[in-house]
Amino acid sequence: MNRFAIVTGAANGIGRAIAARLARDGLRVALADIDLAAANRAANEISAASESGTHDRPIALQVDVADARSVEAMTAAALDAFGRIDVMVSNAGVMERAPFLQMTESFWRRVLDINLTGAFFCGQAAARRMVAQGSGGRIVNVASNSGIFGGRGRAAYGASKAGLINLTQTMAIELAEHGILVNAVAPGPTRTHDGMPAEPGPAVMARMPLARFGRPDEIAAVAAFLASNECSFTTGHVYCADGGFTIAGMTEA
């Protein structure tokens, strides 16, 4: 049976890599992003790289995940196009830093609204459709290892991702009776665009066993498993795709 997925924040970076991987795995994908033009470009590039027929091509949708009405419209559009929703990947987010003492209310609210409330809106909208369909589903939240430990300048970002991890666990408990499995992937330092340095800075390299940036496709591989039918007895977990960054303590000899 064909499976259908929505990936938010799919125009670039990790979201785009997840959408491409799911399409390669045979899912029909809706790339949702606040930048519709960029989402269309990404969808066209994924389609051009695929051997699928026209009916399997990904589609692009516009969404502001911090706006419940926009999320509802996106979900309805995907349902109209696909007829069902089997997978929701809540990837849309912002990684912005500011010193705690100088952080403004507007900065705090923007990061929490997009990273945490956005995942709540998307997860709830998708789960309601999955429950109505009666055949279960998969929800994958893109968290961060910044939600597991503190980091300078990351009061808002870290809090949003820590909240997302707890949201993932709570959703997993409440949705299990409907056959909906909810998990998260927590990327570490990932080189998402060519403007980034070739390797992480010294503070990261000192505690990262694999001593390099991750690639978006490596994060996508974990997300793809969590979205797959092979992930059948795992729910409420956070998988760190971070080169060992989260588990490293004293790394010197």
Catalytic positions, please? Answer: 157
The answer to whether 135 and 146 are in contact (CB under 8 A) is no
Q: Report the distance separating Cα 21 and Cα 207, nearest Å.
A: 29
DSSP class of residue 1? -
- Tally the residues of the chain: 253
The answer to whether 44 and 19 are in contact (CB under 8 A) is no
Does residue 229 sit in helix, strand or coil? Answer: coil
Q: Report the distance separating Cα 37 and Cα 50, nearest Å.
A: 20
Q: Which residues contact 171 (CB under 8 A, 6 or more apart)?
A: 123, 127, 139, 182
Q: Which residues pair with 89 in a beta bridge?
A: 7, 140
**What are the backbone angles phi and psi of residue 241, rounded to the nearest 5°?**
-105, 85
Q: Element (H or E) spanning 189, and its range?
A: none
Taking Cα atoms as reference points, which of 183, 179, 191 lies closest to residue 167? 183
Residue type at 23? A
Q: Report the distance separating Cα 32 and Cα 39, nearest Å.
A: 7
Q: Report the distance separating Cα 109 and Cα 118, nearest Å.
A: 12
